[in-house]
Amino acid sequence: MSKQAVFNVYRGSQEGGDFQEFTVPVEEGMVVLDAMHYVQGFLCPDLAVRWNCKAAKCGSCSAEINGKPGLMCKTRIDDLPIESPVSVQPIKSFPIIKDLVTDVSWNFEMNKKITPFTPDNEDVSSWRYYQEDVDRVQEFRKCIECFLCQDVCHVIRNHEQKPKFVGPRFMVRLASLEMHPMDRVDRLPFIKEEAGIGLCNITKCCTEVCPEDIHITDNAIIPLKERVVDEYYDPVVGLLRGIGILPKRNKKKP
Amino acid sequence: MTSYNTKYETHTHDVVVVGAGGAGLRAAIEASSQGLSVALVCKSLLGKAHTVMAEGGVAAAMANVDSADGWQTHFKDTMKGGKFLNNWRMAQLHAQEAPDRIRELERWGAVFDRTPDGRILQRPFGGHTYRRLCHVGDRTGLELIRTLQDKGVHSGIDVFMECTLTHLLKDGDRISGAFGYWRESGRFVIFNTKAVILATGGIGKAFKVTSNSWEYTADGHAMAYNIGAEMIDMEFIQFHPTGMVWPPGVKGILVTEAVRGEGGRLTNNKGERFMQNVDPERMELSTRDIVAKAINREVKEGRGSPHGGVFLDISYRGADYIKKKLPSMYHQFMELADVDITKGPMEVGPTTHYTMGGLRVDPESQQTNIPGLFAAGEVSAGMHGGNRLGGNSLSDLLVFGRRAGLGAAEFAKATQQFPSINDADVEKAIVEVSEPFERDKGESPYAVHRDLQDLMQNKVGIIRKEAELHEAVTELQALKERARVCSVEGSRQFNPGWHLALDLRSMLIASEAAARCALQRKESRGGHTREDFPEYDAHWSTVNSTIRKDGDAMAVSTSPLPEMPSELKQLFEEAK
Ligand SMILES: Cc1cc2nc3c(=O)[nH]c(=O)nc-3n(C[C@H](O)[C@H](O)[C@H](O)COP(=O)(O)OP(=O)(O)OC[C@H]3O[C@@H](n4cnc5c(N)ncnc54)[C@H](O)[C@@H]3O)c2cc1C
Ligand code: SF4
Ligand code: SF4
Ligand code: FES
């Protein structure tokens, strides 16, 4: 007989729900998403699951596997202790729709608030910038919007603070815009006020779960915090800038 | 404008775009910039469409790296790659306009890899004479879709995510709207509109080994076919030479051609670079149809790798280079197959990848034969002929997405009044969509889907023959019947079984079109290979296959290829 594993999959909706047990035959190299497809295909055709690429490229299949947030298409079953049942449940920071599918529309609302890329000049054929100028920006643009970082961030999990904070995903987006060599918009007031960067206390939980290995805290949030501090909390700098002794802040610092 | 009644909600927009991949997003941005109200409807969340998976790059003759490149060469490469079955005008427009579309993306915030002098870097790819693919490592599609998405959400477009359309509606001859359901609630929704742009992608989910996602169920093809739109060239399906072959769960997942673009070498189990015997000049960078068939032969003749593929090796390029230029391939193999591609070869084999055939469109405006119905991207046909060159899809999305947006906007502006929605058609759609719940003893749609995938894989796959294609056509009728009476469990709330039951009907139409066209075309060309007719045929080089709905039957025939004007023909003469 071939190897088998037992999955305890959360089934439910806004009205509540419970775990349901499914036994799935296991092949070499199989990932958790394969197991969920097996469940849909043979045991429970209406199990709700989001997925698209099955190759960790689209960020659709986020879930909590044995309590750990991750992509189902990237989580190998042979890396899990299958002597005991594996639990699979929806990510917790967002309201459940059904089974493993949650309502992540809040993230799309946050994104809309961010002033989009706005270049210095429109004549792109004259643009010259170099790979080393954009290595960091490209790191941020690897984001596949899986929202796992949003899921683990304790600020977002806190109901009072959530409305005041855009979350690590959008700090990454803001950083990609702020550090783009051709962008001319100043988003620092937004980053400080509406985006609520001050609420992040650098626990780094977000960085740990990022499937794209984006250094969310070290490379995006901390530099943005420094820029905010530099702009707003240094009265001396502020004063000298105000009376024209220091130049106005240049967001494209070397 | 939105209104509700007990059965469905109704939205009214000048233009409705179905699909939010590169083509749909670019079309919606264009239509909206013309001052019209635009709805953008998609099955998944925004930003998750197939386009996000594109890896290797987007082709445009920018001449940043090879200064000799220009639209003429890109045009010629595209026609040659397509085995001259392309619509010449589309290939020309594509080659001419792609560079502007790339510059526009950069202006909207896309960050491509750079040349040493600070411009957009371009890499070599199969069938392209010069280094032509603008890229971002091996995640070009993500860059493209994210840029368009961010541009789009600030353009005043109304986005309807996780909303699946199942029927197009007509008022007389012209389009008047579309019907579908919200995936989340199962609630029905109607769009009343002056123009519809289909940008729903391909049909790859009808095959077993495929690089395509669950969304590729041919809905656009089927919806349009059902109201009388014409399809062409549905036998032309691209089998990409390099998909993963092992472990079983990842079989079919794409290994980007960029691996070969960056110097990857194909070998068989004897260590021979077999492309030497097939296309010594271009070797691994020959066109996809040729490489796929070569791999297929190696495996069939017993020179394959342990898991039924061949070897692809890039490790000689060094770990740093590979991790920089092919980061997601590195992770994909490391995490899913325990293979370190910086140290040794990967195993690869052909996988269903792209649909060259699709809806026939006017090359300038992308309008189909139904007034007010437009199509762009993979769902449309003509641009790529019998075989698509890598990188030419992403550029196709941008060039013809924009053109479809413009075409639909002009059409909508010229339409004074909103056409009306026919209540009887809506009632019929509601019945059809609800049916699977009415039955309780039918099969699971998953079982029917598995059998469809096996059938298409085995009998309408990379190598085809008469007898098997006949069998395929017959067996498809049986599958249609099984799909018609399959039943689903549970409620209408986010119910994948129900969704599949509906998608199956679309896949069956596209599959039947592919099988019937493949049977009709008695030659081998590009993505269509007949074991019993292995050569090009003079007659077949002058016609497109055509597919139309004729009552309840599918009518397959041919139509003459549009003739290339002499100044373009001359380009090929000069090269000789
Ligand atoms: C793994 C992979 C790698 C690739 N790499 C490259 C590359 O490097 N270069 C290149 O040029 N090409 C590449 N391609 C091909 C290219 O990515 C696709 O052909 C292209 O992205 C298709 O874009 P599209 O806009 O036509 O459709 P898609 O991006 O697939 O979007 C289809 C949209 O239609 C929606 N939709 C479908 N049906 C319905 C319905 N019934 N109701 C509502 N919405 C619906 C979907 O939700 C989706 O939003 C690659 C393809 C794959 C699979
Ligand atoms: S580091 Fe900041 S953003 Fe990241 S999880 Fe912690 S609090 Fe949230
Ligand atoms: S930053 Fe990383 S974890 Fe957060 S959404 Fe993007 S990819 Fe996911
Ligand atoms: S399915 Fe795309 S990330 Fe998992």
pLDDT digits (tens, 9 = 90+) for B453-490: 999 999 999 999 999 999 999 999 999 999 999 999 99
Q: Which atom of ligand 2 is nearest to the CA of A201?
A: 7
A83 and A193 share a domain?
Answer: no
Task: Give the nearest partner residue to A137 out of B111, B335, B491, using CB atoms.
Answer: B111
Instruction: Note whether A110 and A220 are same-domain residues.
Output: yes
Nearest residue by C-alpha to atom 8 in ligand 2: A153
Backbone angles phi and psi of B396, in degrees to 5: -55, -45
Please write the tens of the pLDDT for every residue from B163-205.
999 999 999 999 999 999 999 999 999 999 999 999 999 999 9
Q: What is the CA radius of gyration of chain B?
A: 23
% of residues, chain B, pLDDT over 90: 94
Q: Which residues of B touch A108 (CB under 8 A)?
A: 45-46, 153, 161
Out of A41, A42, A46, the one facing B495 most closely (by C-beta) is A46
* E-only strand ranges, B200-274: 231-232, 237-244, 265-267
Q: In the beta sheet, which residues pair with residue B133?
A: B59, B123
pLDDT tens per residue, range B276-293: 999 999 999 998 899 999
pLDDT at residue B374, as a whole number: 98
State residue A232's pLDDT score. Answer: 78
pLDDT(A142) > 70: yes
Structural domain ending residue among the three candidates A57, A72, A102: A102
Task: Give residue B1's pLDDT.
Answer: 61
- Contact list in B for residue A128 (CB cut-off 8 A) is 117-119
Looking at per-residue pLDDT, the higher value among B372 and A234 belongs to B372
Segment B39-66 mean pLDDT: 97
**Short-list B389, B375, B381, CA closest to B544:** B381
The atom number, within ligand 1, closest to the CA of B140 reads 8
The reported pLDDT for the residue numbered B441 is: 83
Give the CATH number, domain containing residue A179.
Answer: 1.10.1060.10
Q: Are residues A136 and A68 in the same domain?
A: no
Mean pLDDT in residue range B534-559: 97
When divided into structural domains, chain A yields a total of 2
Same domain, A84 and A165: no
Residues A207 and A232 in one domain: yes
B343-371 pLDDT, tens per residue? 999 999 999 999 999 999 999 999 999 99
pLDDT-based confidence at B576, cuts 50/70/90? low
Domain boundary among A41, A74, A102: A102
Question: Residue B213 has what pLDDT?
Answer: 87
Q: How confident is the model at residue B248 (pLDDT cuts 50, 70, 90)?
A: confident
Same domain, A222 and A139: yes
Indicate if the pLDDT at residue B4 is higher than 90.
no
**Which token pair is B122?**
């371009």
For ligand 4, is residue A60 a contact (CB within 6 Å)? yes
Using CB atoms, which residue from A31, A46, A141 is nearest to B497?
Answer: A46
When pLDDT is cut at 50, 70 and 90, the band that residue A242 belongs to is low
Q: Is B450 among the catalytic positions?
A: no
Return d(Cα B80, Cα B387) in angstroms, integer.
Answer: 9
Kindly indicate the confidence band of residue A254, based on its pLDDT and cuts at 50, 70 and 90. very low
Please report whether residue A172 resides in a domain.
yes
What's the half-sphere exposure (Cβ side, CA atoms, 13 Å) at B569?
A: 5
**Average pLDDT for chain A:** 92
Q: What is the DSSP letter of B210?
A: B
Helix (H) or strand (E) holding A116: none
CA B238 to each of CA B78, B293, B349, B352, B353: distance values in angstroms, whole numbers, following the listed order: 15, 11, 13, 6, 6
Within a domain: residue A199?
Answer: yes
What pLDDT, in 10s, does the model give residues B295-329? 999 999 999 999 999 999 999 999 999 999 999 89
Q: Which residue among the candidates B260, B384, B402, B492 is catalytic per the annotation?
A: B260
* pLDDT confidence of residue B442: 87
Sorting pLDDT into bands at 50, 70 and 90, what band is A253? very low
Region of poorest pLDDT, from A164-173, A223-232, B185-194: A223-232
Asked if A66 and A148 sit in the same domain, the reply is no
Instruction: Please state the rounded mean pLDDT for residues A78-87.
Output: 95
Q: For residue B258, give how far its alpha carbon lies from the nearest alpha carbon of chain A (Å).
A: 16
Query: Do A232 and A124 fall into the same domain?
Result: yes
Instruction: Please name the helix (run of DSSP H) or strand (run of DSSP E) that holds residue B178, with its range, or none.
Output: strand B174-182
Distance from the A152 Cα atom to the nearest Cα atom in chain B, whole angstroms: 21
Residue A90 Cα distances to A79, A154, B194, angstroms: 20, 17, 40
Q: Give the right CATH number for B439-533 from 3.40.50.12780, 1.10.540.10, 1.20.58.100, 2.30.30.40.
A: 1.20.58.100
Residue A11 within a domain: yes
Domain residue extents for chain B? 33-161+194-236+356-413, 240-351, 439-533
* Residue A237 pLDDT greater than 60, yes or no: no
Beta-carbon count within 10 A of B170 CB:
19
**Binary contact (A129, B214; C-beta < 8 A):** no
How high is the mean pLDDT of chain B?
Answer: 96
Say how many Å lie between the CA of residue B49 and the centre of ligand 1. Answer: 6
Which residues on A lie below 8 Å from B154 (Cβ)? 112, 116
| Interchain contact, A128 vs B118, CB within 8 Å | yes
Contact assignment for B114 to A131 by CB distance below 8 Å: yes
Instruction: Mark which of A102, A137, A166 sits at the end of a domain.
Output: A102
Q: How far is the CA of A211 from the centre of ligand 3 (A)?
A: 7
Helix B140-153, helix B88-107: angle, nearest 10 = 70
> Chain A contact for B106, CB < 8 A?
yes
Share of chain B above pLDDT 70, in %: 99
Asked if residue A247 belongs to a domain, the reply is no
Distance B117 CA to ligand 1 centre (A): 32
Q: pLDDT tens-digit profile of B131-157?
A: 999 999 999 999 999 999 999 999 999
Range of the domain at A30: 3-102
Same domain, yes or no, for A48 and A142?
no
In this structure, is residue A231 part of a structural domain? yes
Give the least confident one: A88-92, B322-326, B542-546: B322-326
Together in a domain, A83 and A207: no
| Residues A45 and A126 reside in one and the same domain | no
- Output the domain CATH number for residue A18: 3.10.20.30
CATH label, B240-351, candidates 3.40.109.10, 3.20.20.210, 3.90.550.10, 3.90.700.10: 3.90.700.10
Mean pLDDT of B245-264: 92
Tell me which fold the domain B33-161+194-236+356-413 belongs to.
Answer: FAD/NAD(P)-binding domain (3.50.50)
Do B495 and A97 count as a contact with CB atoms less than 8 A apart? no
* Angle, CA of B125, B127 and B132, to the nearest 5°: 45
Same fold for the domain at B33-161+194-236+356-413 and the one at B240-351? Answer: no
A224 alpha carbon – ligand 1 mean position (Å): 35
Indicate whether A241 pLDDT > 80: no
Q: Do B247 and A28 touch (CB under 8 A)?
A: yes
Q: What ipTM is given for this predicted complex?
A: 0.93
Whether A212 maps to a domain, the answer reads yes
**pLDDT score for A230:** 84
Reported as a single tens digit per residue, the pLDDT across B514-535 is 999 999 999 999 999 999 999 9
Instruction: Say how many C-beta atoms besides its own lie within 10 A of residue A126's C-beta.
Output: 7
* Distance to chain B for A31, nearest Cα, Å: 7
Contact across the interface for A31 and B119, Cβ inside 8 Å: no
In this model, does residue B221 exceed pLDDT 60? yes
Catalytic site residue from B135, B240, B360, B449: B240
| Chain A CA closest to residue B102 | A124
Domain membership of residue A254 (yes or no) is no
Whether residue A250 is contained in a domain is answered as no
Catalytic residue flag (residue B384):
no
**Residue B504 · residue B492 · CB < 8 Å:** no
Ligand 2 center from residue A254 Cα (angstroms): 26
Burial class of residue B133, CB neighbours in 10 A (0-12, 13-18, 19+): buried
Q: Do B496 and A47 touch (CB under 8 A)?
A: yes
**Which phi and psi (to 5°) does residue B160 adopt?**
-115, 95
DSSP per-residue letters across B467-536: HHHHHHHHHHHHHHHHHHT----S-STT-HHHHHHHHHHHHHHHHHHHHHHHHH--S-BTTB-BTTB-S-
A69 and A112 assigned to the same domain: no
- Please report, rounded to a whole number, the percentage of residues in chain A having pLDDT higher than 70: 91
